[in-house]
Structure 1
Amino acid sequence: MPKSFVIPRAAEPILRRQAGLLSTVQCEELGIGREVRRRLVGQLRWTSPARGVYDTDPVPLAGRVRDDWFDHAASWRTWFALLLHGPDAVATGCCALVLHGVSGLPRDFPLEVAREDRSPRRTRHDVVVVDYAPFPTVQVGDRVVARIDHAAAQALRRLPRQNALAVLDDLARRHGFTPTRLAELHDLVRRRHGSARLHELFGLVDPRSESFAESAARLSFHDNGVPPDDLQVRFAADGVVVARVDFVWRLPAGRWLVVEIDGVGPHSTQQALVRDAPRQNQLLAGGQTIMLRFRPAENDRPGGIGAQVAKVLTRHHWQPGRYPYEGTPVKLPTPALSGTGT
Structure 2
Amino acid sequence: MPKTFVIPRAAETLLRRQAGLLSTVQCEELGISREVRRRLVGQVRWTSPARGVYDSDPVPLGSRVRNDWFDHSARWRTWFALLVHGPDAVATGCCALVLHGVSGLPRDSPLEVAREDRSPRRTRHGVAVVDYATFPTVRIGDRSVARIDHAAAQALRRLPRQNALAVLDDLARRHGFTPTRLAELHDLVRRRHGSAQLHELFGLVDPRSESVAESAARLSFHDNGVPPDDLQVRIMTGGKVVARVDFVWRLPDGRWLVVEIDGVGPHSTEQALVRDAPRQNQLLAAGQMIMLRFRPVENDRPGGIGAQVAKVLARHRWQPGRYAAAGTPVNLPTPAPIPAPS
Please state which band the TM-score falls in when normalised by the shorter chain.
over 0.9
Q: CA deviation at 1:202?
A: 0.2
- Return the letter of the residue paired with 1:296: P
3-state SS of 2:104 partner: coil
Distance, in Å, in 2 between the alignment partners of 1:201 and 1:267 is 26
**TM-score, reference length from structure 2:** 0.97
The answer to whether 1:230 aligns with 2:262 is: no
Equivalence for 2:118? 118
Query: Deviation per CA, 1:36-71, whole angstroms, max 9, x where unpaired?
Result: 111111221111000000000000000000010000
Match of 2:207 in 1: 207
| Aligned residue in 2 for 1:271 | 271
Q: Does 1:162 align with 2:158?
A: no
| Shift, 1:3, TM fit | 3.8
**Compared CA separation, residues 316 and 3, structure 1 to 2 (3 A):** farther
User: How many residues get paired?
Assistant: 338
Distance 1:103 1:300 in 2: 20
Query: How big is the shift at 1:171?
Result: 0.2
1:1-342 residue pairs with structure 2 within 5 A?
2-335=2-335
| Mapped partners of 2:96, 2:115: distance in 1 | 13
- Identity level (%): 88
2:305 partner amino acid: I
Q: Helix, strand or coil for the counterpart of 1:253? A: coil
1:271: how far off? 2.3
1:275 alignment partner AA:
R
Q: Following superposition, which runs of at least 4 residues in structure 1 exceed 4 angstroms of deviation?
A: none
Instruction: Output the CA distance in 1 between the equivalents of 2:230 and 2:336.
Output: 22
C-alpha contact 1:90 1:113 (8 A) present in aligned 2? yes
Q: Which amino acid aligns with 1:289?
A: M
Deviation, structure 1 residue 189: 0.1
**1:80-114 Cα shifts (integer Å, max 9, x gaps):** 00000111100000000000000000010000000
Would the aligned equivalents of 1:283 and 1:336 in 2 still touch at CA under 8 Å? no
1:121 maps to amino acid: R
Opposite residue 255 of structure 2, the aligned amino acid is R
Instruction: Give the C-alpha shift of residue 133 in structure 1.
Output: 0.5
Task: Provide, for residues 124-163 of structure 1, a one-character-per-residue CA deviation record: whole Å limited to 9, x for no partner.
Answer: 0110000000000000111100000000000000000000
Q: Report the residue type matching 1:85 in the other structure.
A: H
- Structure 2: state its 5+ residue gaps: none
Name the TM-score, length of structure 1 as normaliser: 0.97
* Cα distance, 1:333 vs structure 2: 2.5
Distance (whole Å) between structure 2 residues aligned to residue 230 and residue 216 of structure 1: 16
Change (3 A) 1:146 1:69: same
Determine if contact 1:285/1:336 at 8 Å carries over to the other structure.
no
Larger deviation, residues 289-298 vs 326-335: 326-335
Question: Within 2, Cα distance between the matches of 1:337 and 1:108?
Answer: 52
Deviations 1:250-290 (A, max 9, x none): 00121000000001011112221122111101110011100
CA distance in 1, matches of 2:154, 2:85: 19
Q: What stretches of structure 1 of length at least 5 have no aligned partner?
A: none
Provide the alpha-carbon RMSD of the alignment: 1.3
**1:105/1:167 contact within 8 Å kept:** yes
Q: Check whether the contact 2:157–2:195 (CA below 8 A) recurs between aligned residues.
A: yes
CA distance in 1, matches of 2:132, 2:321: 44
Q: Retained in 1: the 8 A contact 2:113–2:130?
A: yes
Distance 1:251 1:263 in 2: 26
Instruction: Give the superposition deviation at 1:328.
Output: 2.5
Structure 1 residue 319: deviation in Å?
Answer: 1.1
Q: Take 2:144 and 2:336, find their aligned partners in 1: how far apart are those partners?
A: 55
| Secondary structure at 1:252 match in 2 | coil
**Match of 2:124, SS?**
coil
Structure 2 distance, partners of 1:166, 1:2, is: 50
Q: Distance in 2 between the 1:208 and 1:336 partners?
A: 33
**Equivalent position amino acid for 2:39 in 1:** R
